[in-house]
Structure 1
């Protein structure tokens, strides 16, 4: 088995790392304080101009065609500098992939170049609702036909990039009499459409630079051409894309964890107690060894899932394994890194407390750790 990256993948990873260090890292602390939105949007534009908003999108629509492995490497590299930028990039790539997978030719030609080229700052993925998080089939947002148009009513919750997304992929029930999951359709709704209302940004524990909003649909009229794919086939599309999104969040968790451990390793080499660097103490060494082993295992799981997706092979089980393991490993790594800093880790002068807060959500969004375990068990038992 060849674990070597291709020249293209290596170049993309190096470019993402350079941009992250030069542009994202200097802004991350300000974003965490709720400042620097204009600079954040400017960075998203730069990422788009460098091909990072359409890593798996066809070149004819402005994409990079680099594939899922390059996507995973990119999100990891960005997250080491700024988790808020990484999650925005990940979700925007998800939106683009949905449009390319099921959109009409007109939809792809209209919206994909705007996402991949930075015409839109980001894309929005409108699936979650108050009563439909881990169980999206229970959604209550409705879309009903009115002549040649559709009218959407309902609300979506915790929508990444709601404040500045240029287009939203929206799931709504189109056949309320169908059994759960079978009467749902998928729509494209452009920002500024009458009846599309962006609620206030949520005040979050971490990843505060990325806006997370409620998105309301109040008698929101869209043309018949806004329907993506087949009517009442949207749930299948959502489930498939969520699996891909889990690769992105696993990569993000890994990036944040790597950043935390980098800080910790540098600190323990400098910090001296009892006449020697604490890095020379066996207890410290074992803490680092355990975390580094877990993160290396997480990276292999992420790359396996990404490779399977890129090869168009089944990858749902592997994506859930990667997301579960990487996000849980990130909790251990960020808290271990904080512990290795001692009291200094609790002080905001150091980045450790931000890393711990940024990593915490990775066990929750794109499917909680508990949901990942259900998916993994289901897939394993299906194979028997």
Structure 2
């Protein structure tokens, strides 16, 4: 299936991206996965070929096209198992600048976002604050024409490579309710007091690094405030639907790819004189997975069609986020099982994907948080 809005231009973009990935990424993917690192120059290569922030207005160097181009990018990268945080940069963080930044900020930063000169990150999570974002402890106090930021952020995707991070911080520690004291402030790499402490060693998604960041009397100009003071929480909530859709697209594509490679394996692997795809138990497992994957794709495409029209569907996006990411984990489990001992070997892609999808039920809102949101939407 595919989105009804797709045209020949979308297919040309998809084919161009595939060729780029086959040339620049696929030959290096195994090495980068082992090293848990992707060379920083890859950001500029993506930018040079027009694969970053394609939606950005032409006056800032973008192509001014729709989110469907981002959907294609997420799908094609997921198909090869490459997790460099281009979607976070392009479709989660840069939109804050486009939506709430001043004209001066847009002119300064957006062209560099498109070119890959300024990889982006966003600092939300703290050691004691994950889902409860209103409880963040990082502060930004005004001092003349500057903010002085103090605090710690953890699990920050693209934290080590970023050229700039948008920091969620308390500009009003006495606000009631607390979330009304949160603001977003841009901190550029190299700013004194902005410390990229270390890259964190995680279970999977090795080609997308996460880091621990510290801010110690980090002084930035008040002109780096994104939007208005006290509206940071509101801005972040506004962008959650797209952030969750990005995660859903990746999980759905991962599930489709894992099943495809498993069917190929089962049709060529023999046991007791016949391909293991001929055993009824294995056929049942494969058809069960295929059915769940089809259901996931149908729901996802419906949500994407609505999103492209500007529709907000908090309940169904939350439903898709928990169900599709959990489904991808079920598919990973059964696909690895069907690979037998080979599935547990790192030389087989299914092993890496099995590790990778485990994060998906946590990132962009845990399964449990999604169910709470749905319950509220249902007025339970």
Into which bin does the TM-score normalised by the smaller protein fall?
Answer: over 0.9
Would the aligned equivalents of 1:88 and 1:210 in 2 still touch at CA under 8 Å? no
TM-score (norm 2): 0.93
Deviation at 1:76, TM superposition (A): 1.7
Matched, 1:78 2:82: no
What residue in structure 2 maps to residue 107 of structure 1? 105
Pairing partner for 1:365 from 357, 363, 366: 363
Would the aligned equivalents of 1:69 and 1:303 in 2 still touch at CA under 8 Å? no
Would the aligned equivalents of 1:193 and 1:220 in 2 still touch at CA under 8 Å? yes
Would the aligned equivalents of 2:77 and 2:83 in 1 still touch at CA under 8 Å? no
Would the aligned equivalents of 2:267 and 2:276 in 1 still touch at CA under 8 Å? yes
What residue in structure 2 maps to residue 125 of structure 1? 122
Pairing partner for 2:274 from 267, 273, 276: 276
Pairing partner for 2:114 from 98, 116, 128: 116
Pairing partner for 1:205 from 203, 206, 226: 203
| More moved, 71-80 vs 263-272 | 71-80
Distance 1:230 1:250 in 2: 30
What residue in structure 1 maps to residue 376 of structure 2? 378
1:9-48 mapped onto 2 (5 Å cutoff)? 9-34=10-35, 37-38=38-39, 41-48=40-47
Deviation at 1:162, TM superposition (A): 1.0
Pairing partner for 1:335 from 323, 333, 336: 333
- Mark the runs of 5 or more structure 2 residues left unpaired by the alignment: none
1:1-384 mapped onto 2 (5 Å cutoff)? 3=4, 5-34=6-35, 37-38=38-39, 41-85=40-84, 87-120=85-118, 122-178=119-175, 179-381=177-379
Would the aligned equivalents of 2:155 and 2:212 in 1 still touch at CA under 8 Å? yes
Q: Which consecutive segments of 4 or more residues in structure 1 shift more than 4 A?
A: none
Distance 1:357 1:304 in 2: 28
In structure 2, do the counterparts of structure 1 residues 116 and 358 end up closer, same or farther at CA, with 3 Å as the change threshold?
same
Would the aligned equivalents of 2:96 and 2:226 in 1 still touch at CA under 8 Å? no
In structure 2, do the counterparts of structure 1 residues 346 and 292 end up closer, same or farther at CA, with 3 Å as the change threshold?
same
In structure 2, do the counterparts of structure 1 residues 4 and 310 end up closer, same or farther at CA, with 3 Å as the change threshold?
closer
Deviation at 1:21, TM superposition (A): 3.2
TM-score (norm 1): 0.92
In structure 2, do the counterparts of structure 1 residues 42 and 149 end up closer, same or farther at CA, with 3 Å as the change threshold?
closer
Deviation at 1:349, TM superposition (A): 1.9
| More moved, 181-190 vs 295-304 | 295-304
Please give the per-residue CA displacement for 1:94-115, whole angstroms capped at 9, x wherever unaligned: 1111110111111111111111
The root-mean-square deviation of aligned C-alpha atoms, in Å, is 2.0
Distance 1:117 1:332 in 2: 38
Deviation at 1:4, TM superposition (A): 5.8
Distance 1:153 1:2 in 2: 45
State the aligned residue count: 378
SS at match of 1:306: helix
In structure 2, do the counterparts of structure 1 residues 10 and 298 end up closer, same or farther at CA, with 3 Å as the change threshold?
farther
Distance 2:37 2:122 in 1: 24
SS at match of 2:368: helix
Deviation at 1:2, TM superposition (A): 7.6
Deviation at 1:53, TM superposition (A): 1.6
In structure 2, do the counterparts of structure 1 residues 367 and 374 end up closer, same or farther at CA, with 3 Å as the change threshold?
same
SS at match of 1:213: strand
Would the aligned equivalents of 1:59 and 1:65 in 2 still touch at CA under 8 Å? yes
| More moved, 107-116 vs 237-246 | 237-246
Deviation at 1:35, TM superposition (A): 5.9
Would the aligned equivalents of 2:52 and 2:86 in 1 still touch at CA under 8 Å? no
Please give the per-residue CA displacement for 1:245-273, whole angstroms capped at 9, x wherever unaligned: 11111112123223322221111110112
